[in-house]
Amino acid sequence: MDFNLIMIVLGFMLVCWQLRIQRRSHALQAMFALDGRWHSPEMVRARQAVCIRNTAEVIPLEGEEDFVARFFEDLGSYVYRGSLPLPFVWTTYSYEIDHYWTILEPAILRLRTETGDPTFFGLFERLKRRSDRSGRRRLCWLLIRHKRWKQAFRLEHLPIDRDRFKREELRMVRFCLENTLCPSNGELPEV
């Protein structure tokens, strides 16, 4: 009798272990698919257009801006539903999440007030907040590990330099397009 119970428990543990491995494998496959989408020629050109445009005034959320915002909305949806673990997403996209939210936030807020629907791109906003919390937590533990206690408990949100991000992103986009990392390499417009 005890042997059967032991075998049932071991079988259950193996099934749980297999499910955990399958979930991680699925998350990695999804991250690779998202990375392919992020570096697709259409997305690279959209990212370029978003960074070139003057965002001093509130631009409408159309075309390229909408395309980029929808990518992050989908990413937020995957994290919200538990399909992708936040640490995977944070490690890969936290820098982009922070900066593209900062660039697109005025247009998203304008869209929400014009339509009267506060849920537009809500999962993108939620992803931004969760990414911020995760980043602060990681930085806090890093500071504590290095015995910098005072800094760890006075963490504030770091300022985001839009212009620096745009320069870096345009450099990355140019590199992707010039080095045929995107399958259909085309001419770059002058910046």
For 68-107, the pLDDT digits (tens) are 999 999 999 999 998 888 888 888 888 889 889 988 888 8
Distance (Å, whole) CA 152 – CA 146: 10
Find all residues with CB under 8 Å of 16, minimum gap 6, and list them. none
Q: Kindly state the tokens that stand for 171.
A: 């450099």
Distance (Å, whole) CA 93 – CA 90: 5
Q: Tell me, what's the pLDDT at 186? A: 43
* Regions of the chain with pLDDT less than 50: 183-191
Phi, psi values for residue 157, rounded to 5°: -70, 130
Q: Which residues of 30-53 are buried (b: 16+ CB within 10 A; e: fewer)?
A: bbeebeeebbbeebbbbbbbbbbe
